[in-house]
Amino acid sequence: MTRRQAREQAFILLFEKSFNNESTIDELLELALELGMYEYDDFSNKLIHTTCNNLESIDEYISKNSKGWKINRISKVSLAIIRLALAEILYFDDIPDGVTINEAVELAKKYSIPEDTSFVNGILGTVVRAK
């Protein structure tokens, strides 16, 4: 599995989590595995767990860098993409920030509307420049 595919899997699972707060991410992961909707991958697993374990800190970055937007106003698709990308930027030192931003923009192009693509790019770019 490529890293792009692993990121997409992690995005889909995190997006699902945004609708299902009663279940833990491990419960959702197990269900997705059982249903054949998730293929186990070390990178994807690490990305989703890192994101969920650091969600409060990641959301602080989003709040601080999304001028005029509160987190609850950001689309669930964009929010899931931004959270995953920020987890990579903040906690995965071996991945260049530019690669992470590009991958996040590609996910936004595939799953969201054009305006969200610019929004995702803008927030991630702001965080990286401030880093």
From CA 105, how far away is CA 54, in angstroms rounded?
21
Q: Enter the CATH code of domain 3-130.
A: 1.10.940.10
From CA 3, how far away is CA 26, in angstroms rounded?
20
Domain locations in the chain? 3-130
Stretch among 9-13, 28-32, 65-69 having the lowest mean pLDDT? 65-69
Nearest to 53 by CA among 12, 86, 101: 86
From CA 18, how far away is CA 113, in angstroms rounded?
19
Give 67-72 contacts, CB < 8 A, sequence gap 24+. none
For the cut 80, the answer to whether the pLDDT of residue 39 exceeds it is yes
| The pLDDT value given to residue 130 | 86
Could you read off the pLDDT of 48-106 as tens digits, one per residue? 999 999 999 999 999 998 877 788 889 999 999 999 999 999 999 999 999 999 999 99
* Entry pTM: 0.93
| The pLDDT value given to residue 108 | 96
From CA 49, how far away is CA 121, in angstroms rounded?
23
From CA 25, how far away is CA 69, in angstroms rounded?
26
**Cα dihedral 86, 87, 91, 95 sign:** negative
| The pLDDT value given to residue 109 | 96
